Amino acid sequence: MSPNLINFIYLVAGVLFILGIKGLTKPKTAVRGNMLSALGMLMAVAVTLLTINDVDYRYIVAGVVVGSLVGSIMALRIQMTSMPQMVALLNGFGGGASLTIALAEYFSTLGAAPTSMADMLVPVAVDSSAFGVGAEGTFALIAIGLTVMIGALTLTGSFIAFAKLQELMKKSYGLPGGPIGNAILVLGALAAVVFLVLNPGNMAAMLTIVGLALLLGLFLVMPIGGADMPVVIALLNSYSGIAAALAGFILGNTVLIIAGSLVGTSGLILTQIMCVAMNRSLANVLFGKMAAGGETIDADEVYAGKVKSAQPDEVALMLEVAQRVVIVPGYGMAMAQAQHAVRELADAMEVRGVEVEYGIHPVAGRMPGHMNVLLAEAEVPYDKLVEMDRINPTFEDTDVVIIIGANDVTNPMARESEGSPIYGMPILNVDKAKNVVVIKRSLSPGFAGLPNPLFAMDHTLMVYGDGKKAVVEMTTALNQAD
């Protein structure tokens, strides 16, 4: 097949990827968009298979079979509540694929792959011209070094993110010196890249890049807490794309560059959205703790004698006479698997003529859009899922807000208390509603470690207990009323 034809088909594939993402701008066109994107992938892979010769198909077939099996089992078995874990793993695999491609390309160009660790320490006599003519050789080596570095750190970083989301790793560990330790690892890996570019045959340099970048991935993500995972996943998503685009530079492959840069920007934009929604800089999420600013607020002082609690059937009495109710879900809803119960409560209210909407904060849950997927799974129509900026002006006309498993994103201190660590973070202004019902196990603080004055307000009722159970009891009580 002529190179022109191949590149033309890659171009068509690239256009299909673009149309695929364009389809995702509306729920109605999204399924078709995803299909178009998959068609582009099929074309790109098929044309590549037709063009490669001198390959050992056994390895390719084995890889495709194993990968398809693992991929489809993961995709079909995963629960919607665990979607962040799935995306974390896929980010890691993407990074791992770019890493191994770059390594394979490096060793096959060297023509003398080591068979033992000892071999690795003996440099091969080769200069950059083996990787391309003149500046192209140097550029290819830089691309190889950077692909290896970003691919490796995405691999280990994503597995740590997975472990944190799956709650296999509950504590946070960091390098002594925190950001400084990480900076030393980054500089060390970059120095090894430079050394490799100058001494392409030095396999020990390559090994150093791999080792340092794998460690970097571990230490970058280990200190970061669970509620900051949306940012981490989005950022690693971006890295996996950048690694793919860099791999495209190594191979001189256009479709890798197009697809990789689309994924790279997607991850970066989501990262930025998440950071804005928390009013924190990326550096603060990655390296900082929540600012300890201001005097520590004593929870007892905030709550003492002011918190009122209620039983689910008392809440049902309020819901009976309500005109408009807004449900605010958080990670707690996912933990309690309460999305179906919540939908049933909403149904029971709608039957009685109550207007029900859902207020979704951008960082609710463990990844961008997490709550939306859970509620879509429970068959809540997507036009009822209202984003923060649009729902906030409506709270004043809302009779009851039901908060289930959310905390910091409703804390009025973010709006009012200037010394507070979360001051300036955009929140859902639920306190403006006529009545607020908070379903929560206890008064324990959220991720920010702050008491929430909302719980002590005159028009707030706390319903203590398991989220799902409380919601089911409300629904039952509401259905029994006449």
Partner 1 sequence: MEILILLLALFVLSLFLGVELITKVPPTLHTPLMSGTNAVSGITLVGALLAAGGDASPMLVNVLGFIAVTLATINVVGGYLVTNRMLAMFKRK
> Does 96 sit near partner 1 (CB under 8 A)?
yes
What are 181's two structure tokens?
């330790």
Cβ 250 to partner 1 shortest distance, Å:
8
Q: Which of 403, 478, 409, 401 is nearest to 438 (CA)?
A: 403
Cβ 428 to partner 1 shortest distance, Å:
13
Choices 172-180, 325-333, 339-347, 363-371; region in contact with partner 1 by CB under 8 A:
363-371
> Does 161 sit near partner 1 (CB under 8 A)?
no
Choices 215-223, 266-274, 420-428, 434-442; region in contact with partner 1 by CB under 8 A:
266-274
Distance of CA 213 to the CA centre of its chain: 21
> Does 195 sit near partner 1 (CB under 8 A)?
no
Q: Among residues 219 and 358, whose Cβ is nearest to partner 1?
A: 358
Which parts of 263-421 are beta strand (E)? 324-329, 355-360, 385-387, 400-404
Determine which helix (DSSP H) or strand (DSSP E) holds 185, and give its type and residue range: helix 179-198
Among 4, 115, 296, 480, binds partner 1 (CB under 8 A): 115
Is the CB of residue 248 less than 8 Å from the CB of residue 254?
yes
Angle subtended by helix axes 135-165 and 83-110, to nearest 10: 150
Among 152, 189, 221, 270, binds partner 1 (CB under 8 A): 270
> Does 468 sit near partner 1 (CB under 8 A)?
no
Cβ 21 to partner 1 shortest distance, Å:
5
The mark string for 310-349 relative to partner 1 (x by CB under 8 A, - otherwise) is: ----------------------------------------
Cβ 308 to partner 1 shortest distance, Å:
33
Count, residues in the chain: 482
Tell how strand 355-360 and strand 385-387 pair up.
parallel
Which of these is catalytic: 127, 399, 408, 458?
Answer: 408
Q: Is 431 a catalytic residue?
A: no
Cβ 379 to partner 1 shortest distance, Å:
6
Sequential DSSP letters for 84-153? HHHHHHHHHHHHHHHHHHHHHHHHHHHS---SSHHHHTS-----GGGGSSTHHHHHHHHHHHHHHHHHHH
Q: Among residues 204 and 273, whose Cβ is nearest to partner 1?
A: 273
Q: Among residues 250 and 474, whose Cβ is nearest to partner 1?
A: 250
What are 148's two structure tokens?
């290896």
> Does 291 sit near partner 1 (CB under 8 A)?
no
What are 236's two structure tokens?
């690693």
Q: Which of 378, 435, 373, 438 is nearest to 405 (CA)?
A: 438
* Letter string b/e over residues 46-73, b meaning 16 or more CB atoms within 10 A of that residue's CB: ebeeeeeeeeeeeeeeeeeeeeeeeeee
Among 193, 220, 259, 318, binds partner 1 (CB under 8 A): 259
Q: Which residues 40-69 are close enough to bind partner 1 by CB under 8 A?
A: 41, 44-45, 48-49, 52, 54-56, 59-60, 62-64, 66-68
Question: Which residues are the active-site residues?
Answer: 408
